[in-house]
Structure 1
C-alpha cells in the first residue's frame, strides 16, 4: 500500500502551510518547520550515504532532544527503521535491545558515551557510530551528527516510502521484566498524530510541551500530534516540575502530556501559585491509571483540562480516551465515578471487553480488553510465539482486565497476571489501591498477591506515606475494612520510601514481589 499516511506527508503539509513557524523549541534552540524538514532530509541522506539500506535499523540513545524529534522523521523517511533507546537502561540492557534489533547504525549523545564504550566490543553488528554533542574529542572511527547534516543533500531521500513500511521498533517498557520490540508502521505514526489532534480539538494557535520520554508512546503521540497539527512544541530534556511550570508560563503552553506520577507531583506542588498556568487548556495524562481521588483534586485545582489516555506500546498509545466533554457531562449529573474510567474507544480504534471465549461481556462484568484499528502495530519483532498469543484474528489482546458501565465507559481493574486469588476469591488490586488512596496519610500505594500456604495468596500492600504523616498497619487495615470486603483487605502492609516505576510511570509490580521472601 502506497497511500499518503506516511511521515513524509506530515512534513510536506507544514512546508506548504507554515514553513517559517517554530516547530520545536529546546532551550536556546528553535527550529522552524522549514529547518526541521531540511535537517531530517539531510540526516536521511547521510545515513543512506553511509551505506544503510532500506529496512536496516538505526538506533539513538539520548534524552529528549531536537535530535530525538528529528530521528522520528529522518530515519523512517529514508526507508530505515528507528530504534529509540530507553536512556535509563543499564549497559547490559542496552546491549540486549541493540542485539535484538541488530542495529547497523547507532547514534549516541555524548552524555551516554561511556555506556556504549562499556559494551562496544560486543556490538559487532553496528557498522557506524554517530556522536551527538561536542565535536572535540570525537572517538576514532565515529561520525559527528552535525557534520553529517552539514555535508549531506537537502533533497528528499531517493527511497520509495509506503504506509505499510516498517518505521520503528518501539520496545515495551518491560513491566514484566522483558521488553519486546513492537513493529510500528508509517500509518501507525500518522494515526497517532491525526487521532489525538481530533480527540484534543487542536487549533493552530495551540502550543505543546513534552516532558515525558520520547522513547515512550506518551511522548511520541504529543510529538506526532504537534507535527500533524502544525503547532510549536517545547521539548524538555529532563522532568522537573518547576521547570515545567516555568516553560508553560513563558511559552503560553496550551497542551501536552504528563505521565501519571508527573500529574501527582504537579497537582501537589506547593509553589504552583507562583506561576501563571492559565494558558493550559488540554493536558493528556497516561502511562498508568489514576485514582478518582487524585483526578478530582487535579480538576479542583486547575479546572476540567485533563484528558485520560489509555494505550500500550502495541497500539502506539491509542486504545481508550476520556475527554473533558464526557467528564463535564458526567460530573453535572453527579456521576463522579467517571473519574475512575479511561473512557471509550480512540478515533479509528475499536475496543471490546470479552470473556475467555472471546464473547463480549455485558455491562458490569469483568473481562479482558481487546482492540483493533489504525493504531495497532504488526506484532513483536522476531518473536512469533508472543505475537501469536497477543495478536489474534485481527485483534490485540492487552491482558488488562476491565469492565464497562451502562454508558459504555471502560474501567481498568487490573492486569490478568496481577489478579490475586485468595481463598478461592478474586481480588483486583486496582480496587484495593483506590481505597488506600482515600486514606489521608497515603501518598502512593500498590497491591500485589504474595504466596501463602493457607490461602494460596494474600493481599499485600506497599504504601508510601505522605510527608510528616504517622500511620500504622492497623490504621490501614481498619480503614479498608470500612470500604471493602474482608477478604480484599490487605493482610500485610509494608511502608516504603518509594515504589519501583518504569521511566514512563508504570508501576513495576514484579519488582515489589522480588523485595519480599516467599
Structure 2
C-alpha cells in the first residue's frame, strides 16, 4: 500500500490523545479534538467530491487557525488537491493564482474580505464546518492520493506552482525521525511549547508546524504579527521553541522591548526562509542567556523544507553537527563563498539553488547570507520582481520598468512619462499584497541590459 501522510500523521499522533496539541485564541485543543477536526473536514471534502465529476482542487484563502491545518491533513486522507494561498491577496492576484492552479472550489476563513472575490462562489469555513454531512471513515484510503500545491516565487520568472506529493510529505516524516535519532541535532520533545510567525499558506510555515505536531509538541498558533502580543504570548505560555524569519530575529537582537518580557523559558530558536545577518546570531545569544540552541534551517520549498541545519549549540557553544547528507557545497577557497547544491532522498540528481553562504571550517557551520538570482525577500516574504513589473506595465505611459530591492525596500525604475508616478503606486497598491508595495519610483532614460537585451538587475542600484 502506498504511504499516505494523513494516515501516518493520525497514527503517530494518536498516542498523545488528551495532551494539548494546539493553543488558539486562548483555547487549548487536545490531540484527540484535533483528530476530530480532521475527521469532520474529511467528511466535508468527501461530500464535495461527490458533487463534481472533475478532481477536486481547493483554493484555501485562510488565516492561521486549527481549521486550515485540519483541512490540509484531511485533504491527504480524502485524496484531493489543496492549494493554500495568501488571504491578503488582492483581486488581481486571486484571479492569477486560481487560474494557474485550476482551482474549482474556494474556501475562505470568515475574516477574509469577500468583496475581492466579486462573482466567484466562495465557501466560508464556518458554514462548511457546521453543515450536515454524511460521516465517512478517516481510515479509508482514496484511489487518488492527496496533494498540496504551493506557489514559490521564481528566480527568473513569475511565481510557479509545485506539488507536495505523498512522497515528499512522507519523506518529511522520515527526516523528523532521523533527527530524533541523531544526537548531533536538537529535536523538540513533547514537553516543548512551539510558536512560529510564518503563515500556514507558506511551505515553511505549514510543514514545520505539522512536524512539531507530529513530534507531540504543543503548538501556539500565531495569527498576525504584533510585537507586544508576540512577546506576551512567549512569556505567558512559557514558549520554549520559536520558529522565526530573519526580520523577527533582528527584532530579538535589537529592539529594546524584548528586555521588558520574561523569556527565560525560551531554549531554542529556529530561523529560516531568508538570509540572516551573522551579527544578529551573536546579539540574540548575548541577549537571551538562557537560550541553548540558535539554529539556522535551510531548504528548498519545491522538495522539502528541512534540507540542512546548523545543528544544535549555536547559542551555547556545544559541538555543531554536520549539515544533512542531502546537501552538497561548492566552495570558492579564495573567499569562502559557496553555491549550495541540494537534493532530497526522493528526487534523482541535484538542483542548483543559486544561494550564497559562508562556511566556517572551525565549526563546520553553514550560514546562508544571500542569493545570486533575481528572487527577493521583503520582511521574510518572497517577492518576484517580474510579477510587480507585469502590473506596472499596465499603466499608460510606462514604456519599460525594472524593480529591485534596496535593503528592505522595493524600488521601481521607469522609462516613461513622469506624470504616471501616482498611477504606478496606485496600480501596485490595488493589485498586489502589502509586502509587494513600492517604496520609491525613479524615472530614468534607460535600464542596464547586457548585449542580448537581458536586464542586468544588480546594476540597478
Same fold (TM over 0.5): yes
Partner SS for 1:151 = coil
Matched, 1:372 2:338: no
Partner SS for 1:99 = helix
Q: Which of 33, 42, 45 is equivalent to 2:43? A: 45
Provide the residue aligned with 1:222 in structure 2: 208
Post-superposition shift, 1:402? Answer: 4.1
- Spell out, residue by residue over 1:54-84, the C-alpha distance to the aligned partner (whole angstroms, 9 max, x if none): 9532121111111111122011221111110
Correspondences of 1:166-181 after superposition (within 5 Å): 166-173=146-153, 178-181=158-161
Matched, 1:345 2:338: no
Provide the residue aligned with 1:317 in structure 2: 305
Post-superposition shift, 1:367? Answer: 4.9
Provide the residue aligned with 1:156 in structure 2: 138
Q: CA, structure 1 residues 375+294, in 2 after alignment: closer, same or farther (shift >3 Å)? A: farther
- Spell out, residue by residue over 1:454-492, the C-alpha distance to the aligned partner (whole angstroms, 9 max, x if none): xxxxxx994679xxxxxxxxxxxxxxxxxxxxxxxxxxx
Correspondences of 1:176-191 after superposition (within 5 Å): 178-191=158-171
Q: Which of 373, 379, 382 is equivalent to 1:417? A: 373
Q: CA RMSD in A?
A: 3.7
Provide the residue aligned with 1:31 in structure 2: 29
Q: CA, structure 1 residues 131+232, in 2 after alignment: closer, same or farther (shift >3 Å)? A: same
Q: Is this contact kept in 2: 1:23–1:33, CA < 8 A?
A: yes
Cα distance in structure 2, aligned partners of 1:464 and 1:373:
31
Q: Is this contact kept in 2: 1:41–1:157, CA < 8 A?
A: no
Cα distance in structure 2, aligned partners of 1:37 and 1:504:
35
Q: CA, structure 1 residues 309+54, in 2 after alignment: closer, same or farther (shift >3 Å)? A: farther
Correspondences of 1:474-489 after superposition (within 5 Å): none
Cα distance in structure 1, aligned partners of 2:201 and 2:56:
19
Post-superposition shift, 1:107? Answer: 0.5
TM-score w.r.t. length of structure 1: 0.66
Cα distance in structure 1, aligned partners of 2:149 and 2:405:
35
Cα distance in structure 1, aligned partners of 2:16 and 2:107:
30
Q: Note the residue ranges of structure 2 that are not aligned, 5 or more in a row.
A: 378-384, 386-403, 410-428, 448-461
Q: CA, structure 1 residues 353+53, in 2 after alignment: closer, same or farther (shift >3 Å)? A: farther
Q: Is this contact kept in 1: 2:44–2:128, CA < 8 A?
A: no
Cα distance in structure 2, aligned partners of 1:399 and 1:512:
27
Correspondences of 1:134-283 after superposition (within 5 Å): 144-148=127-131, 151-153=133-135, 155-156=137-138, 158-160=140-142, 165-173=145-153, 178-192=158-172, 195=175, 198=180, 199-283=185-269
Q: After the TM superposition, which of the residue ranges 95-104 and 50-59 deviates more from structure 2?
A: 50-59
Post-superposition shift, 1:226? Answer: 1.8
Post-superposition shift, 1:283? Answer: 1.4
Q: Is this contact kept in 1: 2:253–2:284, CA < 8 A?
A: yes
Q: Is this contact kept in 2: 1:24–1:32, CA < 8 A?
A: yes
Provide the residue aligned with 2:353 in structure 1: 398
- Spell out, residue by residue over 1:400-458, the C-alpha distance to the aligned partner (whole angstroms, 9 max, x if none): 24454546543445423359xxxxxxxxx99xxxxxxxxxxxxxxxxx9xxxxxxxxxx
Q: Is this contact kept in 1: 2:43–2:133, CA < 8 A?
A: no
Count of aligned residue pairs for this structure pair: 388
Cα distance in structure 2, aligned partners of 1:248 and 1:193:
27
Q: Note the residue ranges of structure 1 that are not aligned, 5 or more in a row.
A: 121-127, 134-143, 333-337, 355-359, 377-392, 420-428, 431-447, 449-459, 466-499
Q: Is this contact kept in 1: 2:294–2:314, CA < 8 A?
A: no
Post-superposition shift, 1:189? Answer: 2.7
Post-superposition shift, 1:193? Answer: 5.1
Q: Is this contact kept in 2: 1:58–1:104, CA < 8 A?
A: yes
Correspondences of 1:96-115 after superposition (within 5 Å): 96-115=96-115
Provide the residue aligned with 1:6 in structure 2: 5
Cα distance in structure 2, aligned partners of 1:186 and 1:504:
33
Q: Which of 121, 126, 131 is equivalent to 2:124? A: 131
Partner SS for 1:253 = coil
TM-score w.r.t. length of structure 2: 0.73
